[in-house]
Amino acid sequence: MAEVLPLPVAEPSPEDRPVLVLDCGGQYAQLIARRVREARVYSELVPHSITAAEARERQPRALVLSGGPASVYAAGAPKVDPELFALGVPTLGICYGMQLMAQELGGSVERTGVSEFGKTDVRVDGESALFTLNNRGKRSLVLDLKAPADLALARELAARVDVVVENFRPGVAARLGLGPEALRALNPRLVYCSISGYGQSGPWRDRPAFAHVHPQQGDGHFVADDAQRLRLAKVRRQVDRVVVVARHPGDTRHMHQLLGVAVHH
């Protein structure tokens, strides 16, 4: 008598086992899913209301609960199916998602009485390898460009340096009197570089393009090819002082790495 043998079941492909990112209302939920994909792991953004049964059908490799603006105590705040935590897959909670996990798993989330979303003050106690790396070889000067004395100092610096880099929205530097025409009148040899997400003209020129928004609006990334690196090498040989007019000190890091010279911001 013939025996019927079942065929082996093929292992699910990576796209059949995604990382599920549960959207709890945070503005970075799309960015979280994108960052997972950039790590060469397939991901999907799903609503926080997904049930454990629905998630189980997708055979997820892991779950990520995104952040969100709500408090876990607020009426109508996003909730998740508690059975999700019994699926036996790694689960990461970020910000609100972490607090929701703690609450759902029997922990307590204490009230502080103060919202902690957004800007906060950080004090470095001792030396920090991170700050040392980002600021190596640089000197910083913070100026209020709306104050006449500080604006005059910025113009004085521009008259003495080789390169000025600014990343304000198009037109802002010119309104402050720090545009290319105004500064080249002070320093004809000046190399002036304006950095913006979508250029200095065109229908998208005024769109915000800081780091968290720009990756979500396109797949473009700056990669210096051999010709660009040769041009940068020529710049390195010709300049030794650079001023960066930036909204945030961290924006100077890539310019510092590309040029290999001391960058002042």
Residue ranges of domains in the chain, CATH in brackets: 14-104 (3.40.50.880), 136-264 (3.40.50.10540)
Give the integer Cα–Cα distance in Å for 247 and 251: 8
Give the integer Cα–Cα distance in Å for 198 and 262: 27
What pLDDT is stored for residue 248 in this prediction?
Answer: 47
Q: 12 versus 154: which is more confidently predicted?
A: 154
Average pLDDT over residues 210-218: 47
Check residue 13 and report its DSSP letter. P
Evaluate whether 141 touches 264 at the Cβ level (below 8 Å): yes
Full-model pTM: 0.43
Give the integer Cα–Cα distance in Å for 235 and 188: 17
Residue 177 has pLDDT above 60, yes or no: yes
Tracing tokens 């970020």 back to the chain, one arrives at 94
CA–CA distance from 120 to each of 94, 115, 117 (Å)?
17, 10, 8
What pLDDT is stored for residue 136 in this prediction?
Answer: 66
What pLDDT is stored for residue 264 in this prediction?
Answer: 45
Worst-scoring range by mean pLDDT, 5-9, 14-18, 103-107, 123-127? Answer: 5-9
Residue 209 has pLDDT above 80, yes or no: no
Give the integer Cα–Cα distance in Å for 166 and 9: 58
- Amino acid identity, residue 73? Y
Average pLDDT, the chain: 76
Average pLDDT over residues 169-188: 91
Q: 132 versus 50: which is more confidently predicted?
A: 50
